[in-house]
Each structure stands twice: as C-alpha cells, then as structure tokens.
A and B are shown apart, each in its own frame.
Chain A
C-alpha cells in the first residue's frame, strides 16, 4: 500500500510545518543540542503523535511552536510555519496573540496550569475575553457551553467551582475546554493523560477524537505511551536524543517498524492483551544533548550497529512516506523474527 499521507492536502499548506528545526541551550559543559534538525508536519484533521523518552526533545519542540521555551533555549536554525506563515522569530506580543487563539496547549499537569484562585468559568472564558474582547458575562456563559461540550457533568454548577474541587480528569477537561474556546487550528497536547487513571484517560482520548471529527482540528500529541499513540494517532514521529529517527503512518510504525530503536521500544513495552515471555530491554542510556555521538545517535545501544553507523544516516525511504534514519535500510529492509514484537508468544496469524 504505497499511499501518500492521507491528510495531506494539495490546496492548502500544512497546519503546522516544522522545518529542520534546531534548538540549542548554552551550558557550562558546552552547547546542548536538544532539538536537532527536526522536520515535522501536522495537517488539518490529522492527529500526529510524537513518541519519545526523556531527553528526546519532544516537549521542547512543542514549546518552540508556542513560544514557551525556557529562557536559555534558543532556536539556532530552521523554521516553524503555521498555515504557511513563518512564526519562528515572532516577537512576544505577536506570539501571545497566537496562543489560545490559533494554537492551544494542553499540558500534562492540568492543576498546575489552572489558576487556583479563579473559578473555572472565569478561566475557561478568559481566552474569549482576551482575544475577542467578549464581555465577561458572555464569556462565562460560553465557558459553560464549552464545559458541556467536553462532557463535564453538570457544567453550569461545576463552572462556578475552583480547580482544586475538580478531579484530575475534570481538570483536564477544563483545560481542553479552555483550549477549544477560540476554535484553534492546532491543538498541542503534551502528555495530557499520563497522570490520569486509565479509565479517565480513555474518556479524554475519546474526547480528543471527537474534537478532531467535529472541528477538523489538527492535533499534535506528545507522549511516551505507545498504546495511546496506537489508539489515537494517524501519523507518528519517533524522537530520540533530539532527532526524528522514524516517521510514518501509525499502522506501519507498529506493524513494520523500520528503525531498530522503534522495534526495541515496542518490544520493551509490557502489554495487557498478549503474554510476553520476556521484555526486551535496551541496554545503556540515552546520550546527553551536549555529548552527542558523531554518527548515528542510537548506535551505541543498537544490537545491529555496523561500520557505516559512524556516520549519521539521513532519512531513508522505507515505503512511500514512511522513512527512518538507519543505514540498514539501504539494501535489504530490516526483518526481525517477530515483526512488531507484540506477538512474542502467539504464532503469527497475519498473512504475508
């Protein structure tokens, strides 16, 4: 199936296009390249997942779009485009207009993102007041509607409460409601369900799918949880030590992962629905951003490394728009005994 990216449109630009982005932080030990030559797109109505462990650069990438990077970090190269408009070096005042209005952010810890001394309706209505000049009474009414839209039970009563009176799942819904207030083109969610119980997580993921279906919002979903990516996302970028190592449609990433890191990550993840004889653990650790190796950044942990790995591989096409940065792809595609690693105990029932 050599399909191009299904959500790609010929008639308009991508909602978000990050082009060869490089983010550096000057530290005593040297310059830390926390995001290294990252290219990433999100199309309207597409849910793009960015998977990575700590130090992968996924959060920094998201923050750069929002203009919320911590002070010592700077964009050293590359560009960020929102609907074709370059926003990389937008001054703060312009950036603030974008946030909430065109790009919404749902962070991991909703409680810390909410103001504890303001009632929920005041907060959820705030973007309307600030960006559209909506008077407070109307903004708060709209807030109640938005809370209803995210399936918060008894929204009119709940809206008058304070954030600490909400459960974790409810707080996250309030954040999502706030994020949707101005019908943004792009929603960036950074581990929004990691701190939530699994049943609550399921509801929040369902809500995000609904939002995408109803409004055609582009969603950039950052997580370390492979299961969530598999459930929610259309397209996936796998990040490691600041770089994108593999990217492609979700079925291919999970069914036929091309990069050894992706393969090993899948086999290191304990699953609920199948029995695993043994979890494959990846030896070693993620390299530090100020101490990146000269060649492939995953090489020292990779059981399949060979002499070419001393040079960093470019993005190599696996099939159609599925690419991975691995020299093993030049020539024979990589095959492992168990393709996705998930079926460790079950004999393969897939054809082909």
Chain B
C-alpha cells in the first residue's frame, strides 16, 4: 500500500452563529488546511481547544462538509460521492470517539453492536458474521463471555475495546480516532494505546489520531501536525516535532507540559 489515502486540499470550514442578522457572526474553525495522510502511517493531530482538530476530523468522515476546498479519499472527492460509492467509502473509513458511553446504544448487546456494521454492509452470511464478531473480539483482547454483555456492564476500557472492535470489524483502511483515551485512567489508557498499535500492525491500518495529550500523541504517531486557531502551524516526523520544534507555538505548547521526570529537572 502506498500513496495518499486521505487528502485535505485547502479546506476551510466556517460556522455561523446568531439568529438575527445583526448578531450573526462567522467563525472559521478550519482555515485553509492542506494535509496528506499517507497509507500506513499514524498522523497525530495535536492542538488546544478551538484549534479546529475535531472539526477537521469530522470533515474527514464526511460528518461535516467543508465550506471550501476538498477532502479526497483514495483520490476521490468525498463530498461528491453518492449512493453506493459513498457507502463503499464509508466502509473503508471508521471512527473511534472519546466517550465510550455515548458511542453505544445502551439497549444493544456487544453482539448486536458488532453485528450491525456487517449487516448494514451486507457482509457474509449469518454464520460467518458471528464468527467474524468472535474473531474481532479476540483481536481486541476480549473473550467470548463479553458477547452478551451490555455497555453498562463494561468498564471504560472494555467499552473502548468494543468501540475499536466495531471500527475494525469491516477491515477498513482508515481509522479516525478523536481523543479515544482521554476519558480513561492512565493504566487503562496504556492498554488501549498498545491495542491501537497492535491492531494497526496486524490489519495494516492508517490512523488519523487526534488528542490534546502530547504524551499520547508522541507515543502513537509517526508524523504530527500541530494546529492552532484552525491552521496547521507545524507538521513533521514525531521525533522532530518533539525534540526540535520550529514554530514558537509548538515550543510554547511543549514547554507548558508538566514534566514528570523530576530527577532530570533537579539536575537542570
């Protein structure tokens, strides 16, 4: 697999707020962003609130349409797709979100949650689907006993595993993750981040990973894009961004992160 899986070409997204003509304000959440996501890489997007990272992500999934510019998936304009073409593309890009609770229908068991994507896309037969559910649960480290449980019976980490299972069950090319570990305890976060890495290796996935947590981004990403006020201020290899940031905003961001290495601080 080579080439650009996802491309943003001069994408801008404006939102309008206010009901009455004289209170109406236009705000640019994403401002002329161009970005190429290469097949097989993990691109981390980091930024503070108001940076536009979540809006960018939603445009990748076609949950939002750009005000101007194009989003291309595998060279095709996502905005122009319709019908079966759109369905095919939707199958190849999946998402994992932050809140494991609100991602699920509380009245559906894990089995139903995982069967749903297969049924919607008409994949396989009834038997093969159940087998695929079992295999995918295995991939995310959950054993067969979880299949009959409901979301409220799962811990935060387990729910996130189910969310990942749901995202990968169709064997997509791209997985978009929006703060997938931000609501998890540190010890569970580590498990889920390792699961992301492992799954990527095993299934040959490409990730677009959004987080405000710089440590998480450093751990998971090959390349990192830093966003501020709707623009990408710096982009590069993760190692370079973290050891030799060029843009002063990136430098300020990194300087602001509290340092857990007390011994090194004492030596400075």
Minimum CB–CB distance from A348 to chain B (whole Å) comes to: 10
> Chain A residues with Cβ under 8 A from B187's Cβ?
53, 264-265, 268, 281-282
| A69 close to chain B: CB less than 8 A | no
| B84 close to chain A: CB less than 8 A | no
Question: Which of under 10, 10 to 19, 20 to 34, or 35 or more describes the interface residues of A?
Answer: 35 or more
Stretch at the interface among B89-97, B104-112, B128-136, B215-223: B215-223
> Chain B residues with Cβ under 8 A from A255's Cβ?
262-263
Within B215-268, the residues touching A (CB, 8 Å) are 215-216, 218-219, 239, 242, 252-266
B263-A254 in contact (CB<8A): yes
Contacts A251-B263, A281-B194; is A272 near B215 (CB within 8 Å)?
yes
Contacts A199-B256, A228-B258; is A268 near B189 (CB within 8 Å)?
yes
Q: Which of A199, A224, A225 has the most CB of B within 10 A?
A: A199
> Chain B residues with Cβ under 8 A from A286's Cβ?
185
A269-B186 in contact (CB<8A): yes
For the complex, give the distance between the alpha carbons of A271 and B258 in Å.
10
B258-A225 in contact (CB<8A): yes
| A108 close to chain B: CB less than 8 A | no
Nearest to B213 among chain A residues (CB) is A270
Contacts A54-B185, A270-B216, A285-B157; is A230 near B193 (CB within 8 Å)?
no
A-B contact count (CB 8 A): 125
Minimum CB–CB distance from B44 to chain A (whole Å) comes to: 11
> Chain B residues with Cβ under 8 A from A200's Cβ?
48
Nearest to B189 among chain A residues (CB) is A268
Residue in contact with B266 in the complex, picked from A168, A205, A251, A269, CB distance below 8 Å: A251
Minimum CB–CB distance from B162 to chain A (whole Å) comes to: 15
For the complex, give the distance between the alpha carbons of A146 and B167 in Å.
50
Q: Which of B49, B253, B257, B260 has the most CB of A within 10 A?
A: B260
A269-B263 in contact (CB<8A): no
- B contact face: mostly helix, strand, loop, or mixed: helix
Nearest to B192 among chain A residues (CB) is A281
B191-A270 in contact (CB<8A): no
For the complex, give the distance between the alpha carbons of A167 and B58 in Å.
24
> Chain A residues with Cβ under 8 A from B259's Cβ?
227, 230-231, 272-273
For the complex, give the distance between the alpha carbons of A197 and B187 in Å.
22
B262-A274 in contact (CB<8A): no
A270-B239 in contact (CB<8A): no
| B190 close to chain A: CB less than 8 A | yes
B194-A270 in contact (CB<8A): no
The digit string for B181-214, where 1 denotes a CB below 8 A from any CB of A, is: 0000111111101100000000000000000111
Contacts A53-B185, A276-B219, A281-B187; is A202 near B260 (CB within 8 Å)?
no
For the complex, give the distance between the alpha carbons of A81 and B53 in Å.
47
Minimum CB–CB distance from B191 to chain A (whole Å) comes to: 4
Nearest to A285 among chain B residues (CB) is B155
Minimum CB–CB distance from B212 to chain A (whole Å) comes to: 7
A197-B48 in contact (CB<8A): yes
> Chain A residues with Cβ under 8 A from B216's Cβ?
270
Nearest to A254 among chain B residues (CB) is B262
Minimum CB–CB distance from A323 to chain B (whole Å) comes to: 19
A270-B212 in contact (CB<8A): no
B254-A272 in contact (CB<8A): yes
Residue in contact with B252 in the complex, picked from A53, A199, A231, A279, CB distance below 8 Å: A199
| A350 close to chain B: CB less than 8 A | yes
Contacts A198-B48, A199-B253, A270-B218; is A231 near B213 (CB within 8 Å)?
no
Contacts A197-B212, A254-B263; is A282 near B190 (CB within 8 Å)?
yes
Within A203-251, the residues touching B (CB, 8 Å) are 205, 224-232, 250-251
> Chain A residues with Cβ under 8 A from B265's Cβ?
230
Minimum CB–CB distance from A281 to chain B (whole Å) comes to: 4
> Chain B residues with Cβ under 8 A from A53's Cβ?
185-187
B258-A231 in contact (CB<8A): yes
B48-A268 in contact (CB<8A): no
> Chain B residues with Cβ under 8 A from A168's Cβ?
49
For the complex, give the distance between the alpha carbons of A201 and B254 in Å.
12
Q: Which of A201, A272, A281, A350 has the most CB of B within 10 A?
A: A272
A250-B262 in contact (CB<8A): yes
| A278 close to chain B: CB less than 8 A | yes
> Chain A residues with Cβ under 8 A from B190's Cβ?
268-270, 279-282
For the complex, give the distance between the alpha carbons of A198 and B193 in Å.
21
For the complex, give the distance between the alpha carbons of A280 and B254 in Å.
23
Minimum CB–CB distance from A350 to chain B (whole Å) comes to: 6
Within A251-291, the residues touching B (CB, 8 Å) are 251, 254-255, 264-266, 268-276, 278-283, 285-286
Residue in contact with B262 in the complex, picked from A201, A224, A230, CB distance below 8 Å: A230
> Chain B residues with Cβ under 8 A from A274's Cβ?
261
> Chain B residues with Cβ under 8 A from A279's Cβ?
190, 193-194, 219
A342-B219 in contact (CB<8A): no
A272-B218 in contact (CB<8A): yes
Contacts A199-B48, A285-B157; is A273 near B189 (CB within 8 Å)?
no
Closest 5 interchain pairs by CB? Answer: A270-B215, A227-B258, A281-B190, A53-B185, A268-B190
A53-B185, A276-B219, A285-B188 known, 15 other contacts, Cβ within 8 Å: A197-B48, A199-B256, A227-B260, A228-B258, A251-B266, A254-B260, A264-B187, A268-B190, A269-B186, A270-B213, A272-B257, A275-B218, A282-B187, A282-B190, A340-B261
A-B contact pairs, 9 of them (CB 8 A): A198-B256, A250-B262, A251-B263, A254-B260, A264-B187, A266-B260, A269-B186, A279-B219, A282-B191
**Residue ranges of B at the interface with A (Cβ–Cβ < 8 Å):** 48-49, 155-157, 185-191, 193-194, 212-216, 218-219, 239, 242, 252-266
